[in-house]
Amino acid sequence: MEVKVASFNILNTSCRYEERKHMLLEAINSFNADLIGLQEVNFSGNSEVLSLESYELKISFLPDPKLKDTEPSFRIDGNAVLLEKNFRVIEEDTLVYNSKLRIAHKLLLEKQGNQFWFVNTHLDNLNESTRVEQVQQLVEWLRPCMEKCVIVTGDFNFTPGSPAYSLMSEYFNSALKESWGVEPALTCPSGLFGTYADLDKHGCFDYIWVKNCKATNGEVLYNIGSGDLCASDHFPIFTKVLIS
């Protein structure tokens, strides 16, 4: 069975959202994906993105919304998964990392008699040691799931060669690296510019990880805008996963 998977940090409602929200919808529709892991979701403000008719919505809430006093339009309630309605959800659970500021969400899904785990997460953006700890927690939480195929999407906020990346690689294969032989040079920033634009980081931060299944046709979807207006500050990534 082939499953088409995408991961996309949509930047909540921050930085020119009214201008870019139609680009978000166009990008998500262009994936033609079966499963999409979304990060940085404002569940009220991003309602257009979360109400696409062809998808069922599964959400995971942070213990408290993430807000910024300096940025009135910034609000993150958690993460979301869009899944085509022909998947059956057998089990669902959420992990709150020790920092209480980040979460992971897992779904046991079934289609055509095949069961597999789909996981969506977003790791800390400030501290590498915190990210290593979160990867450790994630792996332990997923260890009982590892007899089946596991697919993990997310903005991991680490780059190839970092300790957190190395630890994750001990248990999972990166879909884009499986497809390309190397990680992409860039998944953030996209070029989006405006008030509150975050331009401090540059490199590969977004991943789709797989275990007990095969990833092919990995892509970074760079065509999500032009000039200084893009759907998000992250580029979405995409792969096909073969599940037996």
pLDDT at 197: 86
pLDDT at 200: 82
Angle at 106 between CA 100 and CA 111, to 5 degrees: 170
The per-residue pLDDT string of the chain (244 residues; one tens digit each, 9 = 90 and over) reads 999 999 999 999 999 999 999 999 999 999 999 999 999 999 999 999 999 999 999 999 999 999 999 999 999 999 999 999 999 999 999 999 998 999 999 999 999 999 999 999 999 999 999 999 999 999 999 999 999 999 999 999 999 999 999 999 999 999 999 999 999 999 999 999 998 888 888 999 999 999 999 999 999 999 999 999 999 999 999 999 999 8
pLDDT at 237: 98
pLDDT at 244: 85
Show Cβ contacts of residue 228 under 8 Å, excluding neighbours closer than 6 positions: 191, 192, 193, 194
Strands 75-84 and 149-155, how do they pair?
unpaired
Show Cβ contacts of residue 2 under 8 Å, excluding neighbours closer than 6 positions: 240, 241, 242, 243
pLDDT at 127: 95
pLDDT at 170: 98
